[in-house]
């Protein structure tokens, strides 16, 4: 049955759009805001590097594992309900993080934030697309939503750095509370309810297996970086293998699977998502280790480190609308090609970084990766969506987001494991050299995959 959606008056719809953008902004902000707070968290709660990695990854793992389920819950029970619940969960989790007495509570709060984010991300987009049914209006509204998402990335280090330097690391989480206090009643008032009763059931076993299949290898990599391949690390890898196998079996038999496996047989669809994963693996991993380098090796304060990361984040935000127009005219392959070439060059420039390198030595890596990701992000999403029928566009976007969030979670574990802690500056910068080479090789491989999987399109 087709969902019924009340179309509100234009001023009301504009307010609805901005309220949904607030939800998306918080989701993306908490991907990056925590990075500049990690050294202060370490100093107060005294965790080792692996604990700091989990402060980042608890959020990313839960978000990635439950994204598809979050969209399905919204389809079944109504996206308005899910948005309101997501804001409430995110607020409670942010409060728990801000008041956390120890690292275990903080990591648990971050996982709960990931749950709230998994509810918000797909449902805010669904609310917008239903409220703006006209294709031209919808494109503009989704562009505002995507631009807000991109804006959150440079805002994270700036806001986080300023808050941490002046009010302490807890303020980086507590700042969410007044924003949600305004957004929640507004969302209640302006969002019309909608639900698709044709969605008969939710694939809860699939969601549980997907989350376990992601969390277990992240744990294994973090454990291996801290203590080598221990029994628990091997056990986690075994659990991951079982969970992934179980997920594939479940999805092949479920009447309404989270991920229809037939989509993976599409070279174009799988290729676009693999490139998206490679993009975030390098991008999120580089943000993590660069933050540790600036604060842990070079001992810069949080505000300065946040400002120094702007050459990475600003191009991502500034290029998002440009890439959308380029993709609309030339197809996804040209901007993906340019982004991967520039990003690979930026990653390679990490080779030769020393503990006392000046900022000018780091700048090419930041600019290269930021420009590369700015050219890639909209293009890889478009490539994934164009690879499926129009009525599966929402699912394609969800899978693409899941691929990127999954890679981001693994990136923190892998990159942190290679560099080790910043206390050993020589080992840490040696790890940066290796990561620069590996990242360059990965993006060059993604370039070859792009030309193999993503077809050229005629410009209009």
Quick: pLDDT tens for 189-231: 887 766 555 555 667 788 788 778 877 887 777 777 666 678 8
**Pair 117, 247 in one domain:** no
- Give the model's pLDDT for residue 352: 86
- H and E: helices and strands count for the chain: 17, 0
**Degrees, nearest 5: CA angle 421-426-430:** 85
Domain hosting 93: range is 7-192
d(CA 460, CA 456): 13
pTM over 0.95: no
Domain containing 35 — which CATH number?
A: 1.20.1250.20
**Pair 133, 213 in one domain:** no
**Pair 310, 164 in one domain:** no
d(CA 353, CA 359): 10
d(CA 70, CA 60): 14
**Pair 268, 406 in one domain:** yes
**Pair 313, 379 in one domain:** yes
Stretch 292-309: mean pLDDT: 86
Is 166 part of any domain? Answer: yes
Is 413 part of any domain? Answer: yes
**Pair 243, 267 in one domain:** no
**Pair 246, 332 in one domain:** no
- DSSP assignment of 426-452 equals HHHHHHHHHHHHHHHHHHHHHHHHHHH
**Pair 367, 249 in one domain:** no
Range name among 26-35, 133-142, 157-166 with the lowest pLDDT average: 133-142
d(CA 385, CA 66): 20
Is 198 part of any domain? Answer: no
**Pair 211, 296 in one domain:** no
Is 138 part of any domain? Answer: yes
Is 197 part of any domain? Answer: no
394-418 exposure pattern, b = at least 16 Cβ within 10 A, e = fewer: bbbbbbbbbbbbbbbbbbbbbbbbb
d(CA 178, CA 183): 9
**Pair 119, 221 in one domain:** no
**Pair 220, 287 in one domain:** no
**Pair 91, 220 in one domain:** no
């Amino acid at each position: 049955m087709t969902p019924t959606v009340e179309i509100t008056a234009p001023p009301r719809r504009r307010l609805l759009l901005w309220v949904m953008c607030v939800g998306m902004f918080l989701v993306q902000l908490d991907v990056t805001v925590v990075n500049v707070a990690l050294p202060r968290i370490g100093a107060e709660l005294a965790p080792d590097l692996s604990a700091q990695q989990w402060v980042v990854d608890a959020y990313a793992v839960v978000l990635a594992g439950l994204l598809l389920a979050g969209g399905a819950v919204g389809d079944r029970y109504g996206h308005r309900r899910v948005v309101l619940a997501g804001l409430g969960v995110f607020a409670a989790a942010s409060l728990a993080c801000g008041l956390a007495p120890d690292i275990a509570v903080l990591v648990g709060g971050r996982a709960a934030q990931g749950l709230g984010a998994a509810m918000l991300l797909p449902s805010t987009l669904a609310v917008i697309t239903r409220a703006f049914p006209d294709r031209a209006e919808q494109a503009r509204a989704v562009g505002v939503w995507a631009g807000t998402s991109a804006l959150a990335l440079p805002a994270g280090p700036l806001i986080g750095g300023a808050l941490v330097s002046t009010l302490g690391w807890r303020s980086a989480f507590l700042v969410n509370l007044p924003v949600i206090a305004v957004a929640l009643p507004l969302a209640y008032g302006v969002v019309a309810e909608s639900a698709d009763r044709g969605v008969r059931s939710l694939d809860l076993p699939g969601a549980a297996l997907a989350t376990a299949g992601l969390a277990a290898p992240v744990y294994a990599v973090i454990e291996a970086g801290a203590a080598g391949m221990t029994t628990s690390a091997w056990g986690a890898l075994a659990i991951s293998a079982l969970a992934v196998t179980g997920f594939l079996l479940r999805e092949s038999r479920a009447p309404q699977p989270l991920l229809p496996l037939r989509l993976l047989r599409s070279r174009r669809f799988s290729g676009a998502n693999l490139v998206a994963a490679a993009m975030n693996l390098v991008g999120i991993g580089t943000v993590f280790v660069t933050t540790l380098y600036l604060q842990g090796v070079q001992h810069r304060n949080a505000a300065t480190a946040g400002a120094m990361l702007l050459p990475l984040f600003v191009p991502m935000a500034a290029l998002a609308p440009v890439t959308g127009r380029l993709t609309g005219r030339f197809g996804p392959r040209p901007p993906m090609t340019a982004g991967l070439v520039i990003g690979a060059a930026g990653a390679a420039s990490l080779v030769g970084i020393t503990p006392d390198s000046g900022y000018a030595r780091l700048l090419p890596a930041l600019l290269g990766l930021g420009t590369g990701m700015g050219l890639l992000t909209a293009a890889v999403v478009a490539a994934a969506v164009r690879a499926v029928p129009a009525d599966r566009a929402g699912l394609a976007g969800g899978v693409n987001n899941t691929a990127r969030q999954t890679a981001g979670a693994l990136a923190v574990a892998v990159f942190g494991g290679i560099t080790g802690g910043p206390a050993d500056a020589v080992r840490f910068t040696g790890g940066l050299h290796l990561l620069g080479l590996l990242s360059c090789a990965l993006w060059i491989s993604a370039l070859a995959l792009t030309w193999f999987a993503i077809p050229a399109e005629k410009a209009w």
